[in-house]
Amino acid sequence: GAVVSQHPSWVICKSGTSVKIECRSLDFQATTMFWYRQFPKQSLMLMATSNEGSKATYEQGVEKDKFLINHASLTLSTLTVTSAHPEDSSFYICSARDLVWVVGEQFFGPGTRLTVL
Amino acid sequence: GESVGLHLPTLSVQEGDNSIINCAYSNSASDYFIWYKQESGKGPQFIIDIRSNMDKRQGQRVTVLLNKTVKHLSLQIAATQPGDSAVYFCAENIIGEKLTFGTGTRLTIIP
């Protein structure tokens, strides 16, 4: 149980275009989902916390108008990278916390590799 | 912009030997700690966790040790196998708040 999926697994786009990444909890309901970004040979950096039905909370230094997050249901959160540029190329990972929350456990998706040309 | 990526600490271990991966955490108020394994191109995979009211917890082939006095966490992997090769991250949080990840250690198992 506790499976989180992401779609797409990889995407290549031109500079200036927008890209949407989906994060789904497949077998549980998630009131809270988290979006992370990971650059090569670096750790995961939290970008934002997404709560179902409310606005996302962004970490310091993350542009909320550039990284649009929508958490419209208990099983789906989306991250849209607007007007993407090469410096946005990264590995984007989501995680979800079960509605029946056990301690602090989060379940991670497989990640989405974004390459902006 | 983002800084240049740092080289991950690396650890090479002979197959069948035991490995110990260390992590120094930053927040003395943290009360929950987790070890994750991340293979190339994949998301983090939960390995084992420990609450701050414990100093040791064992799983299958893995043991986590917590020393709150010096804010140190370690992951011991017994009888390492080629499939254990990955990057290992520790993470800390105050329950109910966000996870903070450590810098990671790349473990390479030598056949």
Count other C-beta atoms under 10 Å from residue A89's C-beta.
17
Min Cα separation B82/chain A (Å): 21
* pLDDT over 50 at B14, yes or no: yes
Contact A111 B99 (CB under 8 A): no
Q: Is B5 on the interface with A (CB under 8 A)?
A: yes
pLDDT score for A27: 87
Contact B51 A41 (CB under 8 A): no
φ/ψ of residue B30, rounded to 5 = -60, 140
- Could you report the per-residue pLDDT of A62-95, keeping only the tens digit for each? 999 999 999 889 999 999 999 999 999 999 999 9
The reply to whether B40 touches chain A by the CB within 8 Å rule is: no
The size of chain A, in residues, is 117
A110/B5 Cβ within 8 A: no
Q: Does B48 touch chain A (CB under 8 A)?
A: no
Neighboring chain A residues of B36 at a CB cutoff of 8 Å: 108
**Residue among A4, A19, A2 nearest A85 (CA):** A19
Mean pLDDT of B81-109: 92
CA A64/CA A57 separation, integer angstroms: 9
Q: Which residue of B has its CA nearest to A44?
A: B101
- Chain A contact present for B4, CB below 8 A: no
Residue B45 near chain A (CB below 8 Å) = yes
pLDDT digits (tens, 9 = 90+) for B25-68: 989 999 999 999 999 999 999 999 999 999 999 999 999 999 99
For chain B, the distance separating the N- and C-terminal CA atoms, rounded to the nearest angstrom, is 40
pLDDT at A103 over 70: no
Is B46 an interface residue toward A (CB < 8 Å)?
Answer: yes
Phi/psi at A89 (5° precision) = -60, 125
Kindly report, residue by residue over A29-68, the tens digit of the pLDDT: 888 899 999 999 899 999 999 988 888 999 999 999 999 9
**Residue B1 confidence (pLDDT) above 60:** no
> What is chain B's mean pLDDT, rounded?
91
Provide the shortest C-alpha distance from residue A101 to chain B (in Å). Answer: 9
B68 backbone dihedrals φ, ψ, rounded to 5°:
-70, -25
A chain contacts of residue B45, beta-carbon cutoff 8 Å: 108
- Calculate the dihedral angle through the C-alpha atoms of B62, B51, A96, B105, rounding to the nearest 10 degrees: -50
SS3 per-residue string spanning chain B: CCCCCCCCCEEEEECCCCEEEEEECCCCCCCEEEEEEECCCCCCEEEEEEECCCCEEECCCEEEEEECCCCEEEEEECCCCHHHCEEEEEEEECCCCCCEECCCEEEEEEC
Burial A105-116 (b: 16+ CB within 10 A, else e): ebbbbbbbebeb
CA angle A104, B96, A93 (to 5 degrees): 60
